[in-house]
Amino acid sequence: MEEEEKGGGEVVEILIETVNKIASISDYRCTVKKQYCNLARRLKLLIPMLEEIRDSKDSIIPQQTLKALVLLKQALDSAKDLLIFGCEGSKIYLVLEREQIMNKYHEVTAKLEQALTGISYEGLDISDEVKEQVELVLAQFRRAKGRVDATDVELYEDLLSLYNKTNDSASDLAVLRRISEKLQLMGIADLTQESLALHEMVGATGGDPGESIEKMSMLLKKIKDFVQTENPNLDAPEREKNLPPSGSGQAIVDGSRQMPVIPDDFRCPISLELMKDPVIVSTGQTYERSCIEKWLGAGHDTCPKTQQKLTSTALTPNYVLRSLIAQWCEANGIEPPKRPSSSGTSKTVSTCSPAELTKIKILLQKLKSGCVEDQRSAAGEIRLLAKHNADNRVAIAQAGAIPLLVGLLSTPDPCIQEHAITALLNLSICEDNKGNIVSAGAVPGIVHVLKKGSMEARENAAATLFSLSVVDENKVTIGFLGAIPPLVTLLSEGTQRGKKDAATALFNLCIYQGNKGKAVRAGVVPTLMCLLTETGGGMVDEALAILAILASHPEGKATIGAAEAVPVLVEVIRNGSPRNRENAAAVLVHLCSGDQKHMVEAQEHGVMGPLVDLAQNGTDRGKRKAQQLLERISRFVEQQNHSQAQTEAHIQQPQPSSMANFGDS
């Protein structure tokens, strides 16, 4: 009975902790705000009951009630995950998948009702007032179970109609305006947060987003284009003009050329400088890492911009914004700001309970045991613990798991190897862990798995390399240690998911100039050309993105040109998606730079008409690339015509006759 009492005490402590975490969640997405606020409010009302159970020293929790409390813990965990997604998840997803979201909501409320019904007050020292409060909560769950709240049908239908239309029209503007207003996607910060939410969902799928998330990404792109078109000064408000230029990304002032205005959302709200390492705080605002760390280090516990109290001091890297800043710098001829070394940044602290930390330590002992069965089960559990919970990722790494998992990458047991590489992948989501994984000598082991592991292990090894290569210095290490050739092999022979994992890793690695030649020499260009022309075309986006980044390298340009890419690129510019047309034009710009053969070939395949259309209707970058090509080809045609005219004029001039000379002799 003492063990029951002890176990019950631990369960109750965990229940209180979980409800407190739920209470700290706020600012739910507008489409689920009413239901989720009601759910969170009802759950907060359980705190008095749980505290009275915890504080009662004389009562022993009956077995039946203990089982109900365990069920309540499981239901609360599900409710917490649901509410977190309602606060941080994709706004577009919450509308498009409304049936799935509401089914999950009703499933959670049914679990909560079942668990609360199983709690018997006999043997528990619970006050009548608290009993009445819990009965009220239970009655509310029962009423909510069968209720279906009205959803915004117009918003759902607007999103579907927008997705199904391939050509923009004037009537779409009203639809886009309604969508952006209702979803509160009216500014760059809102759009960036939505991009990040979709990015997190892709990460949770292991890099295979599926059709639904790809649909949402396309919808977000349309909304973003609309918002930026409607608000041309969104990135450069009036007050921006009076600010001094940022020292981080200064362009050379040459004659009339002015320093481009830095978009407001690319500046840190604290320093007003172009951000090098943007991070997100718990309120959703983004700051330069060093600035917000100084703010927190000074003892502040609020968001500098909104003055809201921070529910956590955790800092989440804003990869989407960092990429947008890099693209903006490239487009404006500015050297991208170099991200400071992560060695000086403060470490994230785990808030795992003592019971959870004890469990992690036991699992690590099993990893060390040398018993294959223990290692297999422990590695599998660590893999699952690190999958969704950020606190677990920190705690597992701090407990010393990373070197042990790295050591298991070379094990002959395929199941242990698969668990180990996937656990490292999940741990690498935490920014602090990326450097620790590389420092522990993981890259050679990951490359070994990439070459020799099962297909799932190889896919997860590729995804791990992509995750680690987000840190710029890791790109150099990973390329140097031989990861690129096996990634190219996986790109050729993997499953669809494996190919996507390999492609994302290769793209990220090839951002570093020194890796481009390695990829070309590993045979990536012929593989990419096959992916461009294969039936189904499931890898066209990825193939073109990599070709666009390789075409700027001399070896890459020569190899792409030799692979007879021009006809394929012209066809993409003619019929591809907006982003693919943009990348195809970017590749062709490099091929036609100083190479008349490719310009002639592009003309012969009818590139001029599609280029004119792209210059008028493409993405911003697509328009620039199309204009560059049109100007280059036009100059070439003018030179050809001028040369031909000179030749013809030379032929038509009277020439001295040899016969006349003969007659005069």
Q: What is the pLDDT of residue 646?
A: 66
For the beta sheet containing 316-317, the strands, ordered from the edge strand earlier in sequence to the opposite edge, are 286-288, 278-280, 316-317
Which of 230, 255, 276 marks a domain boundary? 230
- At residue 390 the predicted structure's pLDDT band, cuts being 50, 70 and 90, is confident
Q: What is the pLDDT of residue 508?
A: 86
- At residue 645 the predicted structure's pLDDT band, cuts being 50, 70 and 90, is low
Nearest-CA neighbor of 4 among 58, 53, 91, 67? Answer: 67
Please report whether residue 89 resides in a domain: yes
Q: What is the pLDDT of residue 139?
A: 84
pLDDT tens digits for range 591-622: 888 778 888 888 888 888 999 998 888 888 88
Please report whether residue 280 resides in a domain: yes
Lowest mean pLDDT among 83-92, 328-337, 553-562: 328-337
Residue 202 or 131, more confident? 131
**Residue 35 belongs to what domain range?**
1-145
pLDDT tens digits for range 531-584: 988 877 788 888 998 999 898 888 999 999 999 889 999 999 998 888 889 899
Three-state SS at 266 = helix
- At residue 650 the predicted structure's pLDDT band, cuts being 50, 70 and 90, is low
Q: Which residue, chain included where needed, has tokens 């050509």?
A: 167
Q: What is the pLDDT of residue 10?
A: 77
Please report whether residue 74 resides in a domain: yes
> Bridge-partner residues for 309, per DSSP?
302
**Alpha helix segments (H runs only) across 389-512:** 390-398, 401-407, 414-427, 431-439, 442-452, 455-468, 472-480, 484-493, 496-509
Q: What is the pLDDT of residue 51?
A: 84
Q: Which residue, chain included where needed, has tokens 């042990």?
A: 404
**What's the whole-number mean pLDDT along residues 320-325?**
74
**What's the whole-number mean pLDDT along residues 357-386?**
90
Q: What is the pLDDT of residue 415?
A: 94
Average pLDDT, the chain: 79
> Bridge-partner residues for 288, per DSSP?
278
Q: Which helix (H) or strand (E) holds 287?
A: strand 286-288
**Cα–Cα distance between 136 and 153 in angstroms, integer?**
32
pLDDT tens digits for range 487-541: 999 999 988 888 988 998 999 899 888 899 999 999 999 999 999 888 777 888 8
Residue 181 or 197, more confident? 181
Please report whether residue 376 resides in a domain: no
**Cα–Cα distance between 179 and 168 in angstroms, integer?**
15
Q: What is the pLDDT of residue 573?
A: 92
Q: What is the pLDDT of residue 408?
A: 93
Same domain, 272 and 199: no
Same domain, 101 and 164: no
DSSP string, 638-660: HHHHHHHHHHHHHHHS----HHH
Nearest-CA neighbor of 428 among 368, 457, 471? Answer: 471
Q: Is the pLDDT assigned to residue 209 strictly greater than 60?
A: no
The shares of helix, strand and coil residues in the chain, as percent rounded to the nearest 5, are 70, 0, 30
Q: Is the pLDDT assigned to residue 450 strictly greater than 90?
A: yes
**Cα–Cα distance between 576 and 4 in angstroms, integer?**
65
**Cα–Cα distance between 322 and 333 in angstroms, integer?**
17
Q: Is the pLDDT assigned to residue 90 strictly greater than 90?
A: no
Q: Is the pLDDT assigned to residue 451 strictly greater than 80?
A: yes
Q: What is the pLDDT of residue 253?
A: 36
**What's the whole-number mean pLDDT along residues 394-420?**
92
Whether the predicted model's global pTM rises above the 0.85 cut? no
Same domain, 184 and 70: no
**What's the whole-number mean pLDDT along residues 284-292?**
85
DSSP label of 561 = H
**Alpha helix segments (H runs only) across 510-565:** 513-521, 524-533, 540-550, 554-562
CA angle at residue 188 from 184 to 193, to 5 degrees?
A: 70
Structure tokens at 61: 């929790």
Which of 230, 251, 284 marks a domain boundary? 230
**Cα–Cα distance between 550 and 556 in angstroms, integer?**
5
Q: What is the pLDDT of residue 248?
A: 34
> Bridge-partner residues for 286, per DSSP?
280
Q: Is the pLDDT assigned to residue 65 strictly greater than 60?
A: yes
Same domain, 171 and 131: no
**Cα–Cα distance between 437 and 467 in angstroms, integer?**
11
Please report whether residue 435 resides in a domain: no
Three-state SS at 278 = strand
Same domain, 7 and 48: yes
Please report whether residue 362 resides in a domain: no
Lowest mean pLDDT among 119-128, 268-277, 341-350, 648-657: 341-350
CATH, residue 280: 3.30.40.10
Same domain, 220 and 303: no
Which of 203, 230, 257 marks a domain boundary? 230
Q: Is the pLDDT assigned to residue 655 strictly greater than 80?
A: no
> What's the length of the chain?
665
**Cα–Cα distance between 8 and 59 in angstroms, integer?**
11
Residue percentage of the chain with pLDDT more than 90:
20
Same domain, 174 and 140: no
Same domain, 218 and 280: no
Same domain, 15 and 93: yes
Candidate ranges 266-270, 343-347, 506-510; pick with highest mean pLDDT: 506-510
Same domain, 195 and 320: no
Same domain, 17 and 129: yes
**Cα–Cα distance between 251 and 265 in angstroms, integer?**
19
DSSP label of 89 = S
**589 contact partners, CB below 8 Å, separation of at least 6:** 551, 625, 628, 629, 632
- At residue 407 the predicted structure's pLDDT band, cuts being 50, 70 and 90, is very high
Q: Is the pLDDT assigned to residue 651 strictly greater than 70?
A: no
Q: Is the pLDDT assigned to residue 624 strictly greater than 50?
A: yes
Q: How far is CA 500 from CA 127, 249, 466, 470, 581, in A?
A: 58, 33, 11, 16, 20
Please report whether residue 204 resides in a domain: yes
**What's the whole-number mean pLDDT along residues 152-167?**
74
Number of compact structural domains in the chain = 3
Q: What is the pLDDT of residue 647?
A: 67
Residue percentage of the chain with pLDDT more than 70:
81
Please report whether residue 538 resides in a domain: no
Q: Is the pLDDT assigned to residue 204 strictly greater than 60?
A: no
Nearest-CA neighbor of 524 among 496, 494, 556? Answer: 556
Q: What is the pLDDT of residue 48?
A: 87
Lowest mean pLDDT among 22-26, 106-110, 657-661: 657-661
Residue 517 or 90, more confident? 517
Same domain, 218 and 313: no
Lowest mean pLDDT among 199-208, 416-425, 459-468, 477-486: 199-208
